[in-house]
Chain A
Amino acid sequence: MAANFWISSQYKELLDQEEVDVVHQLDKERGITLDDFKLIKLHMSNYVARLAQNVKVRQRVVATAITYMRRVYVRRSMTEYDPRLVAPTCLYLASKAEESTVQARLLVFYIKKLYSDEKYKYEIKDILDMEMKVLEALNYYLVVYHPYRSLAQFLQDAGMNDATQLTWGLINDTYKMDLILIHPPHLITLACIYIASVLKDKETTAWFEELRVDMNVVKNIAMEILDYYDGHRSISDERVNAAMSKLAGR
């Protein structure tokens, strides 16, 4: 579907960084800062990925679920939409939308298994109720284009098949940021390939020049990804817990 991203709802709904980095008024009142906001979304992305590993769904479902979750928080507050419920609900909805349905009771089973914390404990009914609210928050737009799709083709073309694993991993990590809300997916792919080529000391300048894409954008995305890796080292459990503790209790 790479060819028709440009006529998709996703393309029309792409956002600017400034629109994504808005902490909802209700959340601000609880003392949630922009850093907290990003940290919670990161933590919840990991939560989705962990749950997904247990219920065994394709990476694409994980990617779609995280995209849904991030889209929800462009419009909704964490105070009224508890991320600990929204995250598994997004996985549930994404599994349906991506045609590999996971039963809600299976999710609930693993939630209980993975997190003993009461705050994570939600029942089937909670997920189903939240599903409707998530659908609404997404304005019922469910099709998501991901950077994975064009990866194999790009790597082949660039003669970088040996970097598949590395680049795939890099793309997985981009979901710990909001990139998918802001950039067309193929540019995210190219940014990851760019990083991989630099890491592997591959000369790809000529290949990139032949593509008719704005290399400045690609490089900026690549820089953001590298910034994330830099910042990632300073993320401790304490920081995550501190941010999470600002969320409303139930």
Chain B
Amino acid sequence: MSEVEKLLSMNRKAADRYLKREVLGEGTYGVVYKAIDTKSGQVVAIKKIRLGKQKEGVNFTALREIKLLKELKDPSVIELIECFPHKGNLHLVFEFMETDLEAVIRDRNIFLSPADIKSYIQMTLKGLAFCHKKWVLHRDMKPNNLLIGPDGQLKLADFGLARIFGSPDRRFTHQVFARWYRAPELLFGAKQYGPGVDVWAAACIFAELLLRRPFLQGNSDIDQLGKIFAAFGTPKPSQWHDMVYLPDYVEYQYVPGQPFKTLFPTATDDCLDLLSKMFTYDPKARISAQQALEHRYFSSGPPPTEPALLPRPPPKREPGNPKVSDLNPHDGPVVLSPPRKSRRVMPHREGFEANMHPEKMDDHENEIQQAAGERSEQVPMSLDFSVFGMKPPTRPTINSADRTHLKRKLDLEFQPEEE
């Protein structure tokens, strides 16, 4: 047997090893399946990387993720178990994660105690500290990129935007992060930035855990800065000396900001102290992830909840028993990811559909399509629904109530089980 033949049979073996189950979602660059590793019995998630029209080979974002995840092995980072090519497509095998932090935050049946919040933010910071120690910036920190495993352990995922830093003079793009999690230096167009950008985003997530809604929901970069300043006050040069030299710096009218105690009325003093250090304007003065972990907030009571005991969305309900009211936007805060710049077009935003036409959400593909079609005409939105016209969902869309709980991810909204 020649070497190539040997390899081919090896790959077939790798592919055969996994028993493909339902589709979990459509990721940034391919479909994600749930699968069972027949060798170990382990449940895994397999990302099948689409080869972009066979023009530029393995997707750049996927390659980034592979490159970094091969170097980042830690309980706080999603594990890339292996990669294998099969039928011309590259497949990435990840450990299976049950849910994500966004689902936890937005599930109104979940009460998060101070100890629970401490546990979630501690695990987030541990993941960041680990990446930063390895000189990797995540650059896309937000609740739905923080996955939660069956044991309650939170792990950083989606390294498609991550970069290695370390050369002091490397210039990066400032168009990273979903806007609501973007640090002020990025909003002012900084090209040389460091781990502080991830810490700012972690602070936003921290605030979101406390408030149960995204903290600073700007609808443009300018507005985002306005929201930041309205909360913390316009930075004075004494607070942030380098600010005026940033490429897109513009002067904002002075606003005084509010005391942290007013912004986060439920938080303890230790908690507020840490938050204020993570929300420091000057990235040079901002606390690092490692320092944050050593903050007294984590050593003072109450101790963080054991991951296994953390409240999580209930396991998905049986289809046919939808609980639509969960998603009614008028009842309370609904957490939606802010629209992103060009990078991600998400045609299947069931979040919107479910909210607006709950009565239409059942398992019939046609109706869903129809509903989606109607909506794109009626409701102007920042998401591109026009894609629906060209590319109808290939599978029956999930029923609305299940969606929240099912959204466990590798990027995305979920599809129903095919059992």
Contacts and interface: CB of A to CB of B under 8 A. Distances in A.
> Do A and B originate from a single complex?
yes
A interface majority secondary structure: helix
Contacts of A136: 7, 83-85
B17 interface: no
A104 B63 contact: no
Interface residues of A, number: 31
Interface in B1-37: 2-4, 7
Nearest to B92: A140
Interface stretch (B52-60, B255-263, B334-342): B52-60
A131 B57 contact: yes
Contacts of B55: 104, 124
Contacts, number: 72
A221 to B, nearest CB: 24
B70 A131 contact: no
B218 to A, nearest CB: 28
A171 to B, nearest CB: 16
A132 interface: yes
A8 interface: yes
Contacts of B63: 93, 96-97, 142
A244 to B, nearest CB: 21
Contacts of B2: 26, 80
A143 B69 CA distance: 10
B102 to A, nearest CB: 29
Given A80-B2, A99-B163, A127-B57, A143 B7 contact: no
B317 interface: no
B61 to A, nearest CB: 10
Contact of A131 (B58, B66, B166): B58
A33 interface: no
B374 interface: no
A141 B70 contact: yes
B67 A4 contact: no
Given A101-B60, A103-B56, A136-B85, A143 B67 contact: yes
Interface string A204-239: 000000000000000000000000000000000000
A142 B66 contact: yes
B230 interface: no
A246 interface: no
A1 B166 contact: yes
Interface string A86-120: 00000011001101010110000000000000000
Contacts of B133: 4
B71 interface: yes
A80 B4 contact: yes
Given A96-B60, A136-B83, 4 more contacts: A80-B3, A96-B63, A133-B7, A143-B71
